[in-house]
């Protein structure tokens, strides 16, 4: 954790970046057995099952205990998004945002003070996001889809936890704990259906 100094008008503040740790999935074969990558020097690299010595040209990724080839193309269907209390998306560390157009969805979410959450991806690979669809406060009649892989409260708890050891911020840590308890704890991987 790196802290930077900033003079903000009459206030002297310290700031540190909030960033999500990249999820690294283990390499495995089609049955979910763990493989180790062997880099090629003069020949093509391969994967090996260290228990059996079996070589594999192709590896899958182990996600939620299952072998996966990754996500293909842009997501097109989300069958059962989860409805959550409005404002929960404020805790998402947003990496992408999209404008969503559907007046009925906007009206339903606004009237019920709700947001929708699900898992999704954009393109090929192994990057899955938590997707929140929330009515826009600024652009009436539209929703915003916020996409991210981490929760601010979790990251801030770690940062403030480190600070507590250096200073007296225990009351702020307790406040963050309350925020974390209110937020949907579903992991991105749990929301993805392959």
Q: How far apart are CA 62 and CA 69, in angstroms?
A: 9
Q: How far apart are CA 58 and CA 74, in angstroms?
A: 23
Average pLDDT score over residue span 77-81: 88
**Distances from the Cα of 123 to the Cαs of 30, 70, 72, 129, in angstroms?**
22, 10, 6, 12
Q: How far apart are CA 64 and CA 192, in angstroms?
A: 10
10-26 residue pLDDT tens: 999 988 888 887 778 88
83-94 residue pLDDT tens: 999 999 999 999
Q: Are 68 and 31 in contact (CB under 8 A)?
A: no
pTM for the complete prediction? 0.72
């Amino acid at each position: 954790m790196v802290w930077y100094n900033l003079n903000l008008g009459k206030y002297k503040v310290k700031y540190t970046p909030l960033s999500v740790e990249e999820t690294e999935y283990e390499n495995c074969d089609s049955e979910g057995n763990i493989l180790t990558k062997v880099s090629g020097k003069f020949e093509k690299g391969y994967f090996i099952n260290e228990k059996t010595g079996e070589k594999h040209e192709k590896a899958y990724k182990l996600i939620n205990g299952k072998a996966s080839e990754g996500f293909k193309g842009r997501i097109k269907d989300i069958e059962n998004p989860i409805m959550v209390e409005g404002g929960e998306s404020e805790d998402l560390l947003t990496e992408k945002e999209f404008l969503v157009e559907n007046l009925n969805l906007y009206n339903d979410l606004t009237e019920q003070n709700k947001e929708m959450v699900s898992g999704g991806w954009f393109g090929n690979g192994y990057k899955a996001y938590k997707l929140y669809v929330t009515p826009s406060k600024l652009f009436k009649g539209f929703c915003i889809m916020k996409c991210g892989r981490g929760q601010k409260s979790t990251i801030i708890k770690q940062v403030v936890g480190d600070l507590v050891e250096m200073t007296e911020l225990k009351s702020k840590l307790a406040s963050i704990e309350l925020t974390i308890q209110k937020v949907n704890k579903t992991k991105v991987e749990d929301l993805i259906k392959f």
